[in-house]
Amino acid sequence: MDEKEIEKIFADEKITKAITCPQAFAIAEKHGIPKAAISEYCNTRGIKIRACQLGCFK
């Protein structure tokens, strides 16, 4: 999955500045995106991942 597809998913979900860990996991599962791709996308765009219980996201 490329960044444009993740960008569209985030736009559809109205995620612009922050996302919770459970939201990130749900998006990854629903769309078959590796969690690392979600993390990378968020990190490069300054989108904060909040409420991460497992420390999977930086």
Note the pLDDT tens digit of each residue in 26-51: 999 999 999 999 989 999 999 998 88
Quick count: other Cβ atoms within 10 Å of Cβ 11?
A: 10
**Is residue 20 predicted with pLDDT exceeding 70?**
yes
pLDDT on residue 2? 80
pLDDT on residue 53? 67
List Cβ neighbours of 57 (8 Å cut-off, separation of 6 or more). Answer: 21, 24, 35, 38, 39, 42, 49
**Is residue 57 predicted with pLDDT exceeding 80?**
no
**pTM confidence score:** 0.82
- Calculate mean pLDDT across residues 4-33: 94
